[in-house]
Amino acid sequence: MKKRLFSILLVLVLVVAAAVGCGKSASTETPNSNGSEQTQPEEQNKKFKVGITIQSLENSYWAGVFGEVEKLMKEKGWDYTILSCNDNSATQIQQIENFITNGVDLIMVHPSDPNAIEDYLKKAREAGIKVMCWDDKMTNTDVNWVLDNTELGYEIGKAAAEFINKYYTADNKAKVAVMDYPQTPILLERENGILKALKEIAGDKYEIVAQQPAIDAQTALGNMESILQAHPDVSVVCSIGAGGDIGANEALMTKYQGKIPENVGIFSADATQQQMESILKGEASRASIGFEGSNKKTAAACVALYEKLLNGEKFEEQNIYRPLLKIDKDNASEYLADFK
């Protein structure tokens, strides 16, 4: 009996020892450099929820950039919603409130009216949501991704003024049309920059004969056709963005049956793929002030900011300024290649 009891106990001891040995070999703990053990954290893929509201997706610049932004967020496996408010602040407020209700991690706004949405962005931040603004220096945000719009306008006007100085004189003034959008504060700043550069650089070699609003290409086309009916000798167009450039280019291409005189030109902002192609084809578009260089690069820079915000990174300055880059026939091929 004693021998049998001893045998049973011996077997139990061996089983326990084996179990302890197996348990240690399966441990996630590994020795560190000084011989002690540390636990390796499991890799976690963070899935964020992003709400984006912008002025208009009819604008070719915004449509192009946010097509690329969507691709990047999809690759990361994030949930996202991209909405146009159609330049209506009441619509944009409703969109922001819906984002808050749906518990997004980040809201990015391209404001129709910055003052109208400040309090709603404050509510978002109070709810623990990160907030980024594109284009305006707002108060209730974590970061504003902005341009110096007066300087941007000045660069557009400078390119146009240098063109005017080349082909026109005080006795043979260039007739200039401005495609603007003064109801949006930053675009009014841009327009003022254009006017300042023309005055300082082209002096008495031009006269402005028309100023018409143009955000999207279709509106710009109709407005440019009306301008040409009233002022058929308009030869220089300055536009605050891609829409005005593309629409005016189409109108001028029709007027001149595809053969644009060398003293006719459009100068603008955004440098979209379509604008650069027009520049290289020798159409009316002559130069455009761009930013990061292409839709892909702009989208990558934008999403990188999203990621930093979502991961809790702090910024030294609330306002982050984007670069300005003149794109014309001399360098358009280089930047156009990045769209392919």
**Cα 107 from Cα 90, distance rounded (Å):** 17
Q: What percent of the chain has pLDDT over 90?
A: 78
Residue 131 pLDDT exceeds 50? yes
In this predicted structure, what is the pLDDT of residue 43? 35
In this predicted structure, what is the pLDDT of residue 195? 98
Structure tokens at 214: 């143009």
What is each CA distance from 248 to 168, 222, 234, 266, in whole angstroms? 21, 9, 11, 8
Pairing verdict, β 37-39 and 29-31: antiparallel
Q: What percent of the chain has pLDDT over 70?
A: 86
Neighbours of 125 (CB within 10 A): 15
> pLDDT-derived band of residue 21, with 50, 70 and 90 as boundaries?
very low
Residue 242 pLDDT exceeds 80? yes
In this predicted structure, what is the pLDDT of residue 104? 98
In this predicted structure, what is the pLDDT of residue 45? 59
Residue 19 pLDDT exceeds 60? no
Q: What is the CATH number of domain 49-147+294-323?
A: 3.40.50.2300
Contact 212, 177 (CB under 8 A): yes
In this predicted structure, what is the pLDDT of residue 338? 80
Q: Options 3.40.640.10, 3.40.50.2300, 3.40.50.12280, 3.30.360.10; which CATH number does 149-290 get?
A: 3.40.50.2300
Structure tokens at 159: 């390119």
Using one digit for the tens of pLDDT, what is the confidence trace for 82-99?
Answer: 999 999 999 999 999 999
> Residue 323 has what DSSP assignment?
P
**Cα 267 from Cα 160, distance rounded (Å):** 6
**Cα 135 from Cα 138, distance rounded (Å):** 9
Using one digit for the tens of pLDDT, what is the confidence trace for 23-76?
Answer: 333 333 333 333 333 333 333 458 899 999 999 988 888 999 999 999 999 999
The 3-class SS string of 80-93 reads EEEEECCCCHHHHH
Q: 154-158, 259-263, 292-296, 301-305: which range is least confident on average?
A: 292-296
Q: Which residues contact 198 (CB under 8 A, 6 or more apart)?
A: 157, 160, 161, 164, 176, 206, 208, 238
Q: What sign does the CA torsion over 289, 294, 295, 299 have?
A: negative
Residue 326 pLDDT exceeds 90? yes
Check for a shared fold between 49-147+294-323 and 149-290.
yes
Mean pLDDT across 156-180: 98
26 three-class SS:
coil
Using one digit for the tens of pLDDT, what is the confidence trace for 272-322?
Answer: 999 999 999 999 999 999 998 888 899 999 999 999 999 999 899 999 999
In this predicted structure, what is the pLDDT of residue 78? 97
In this predicted structure, what is the pLDDT of residue 24? 30
Question: How many Cα atoms occupy the beta-carbon half-sphere of 122 within 13 Å?
Answer: 7
Every domain of the chain and the residues it spans: 49-147+294-323, 149-290
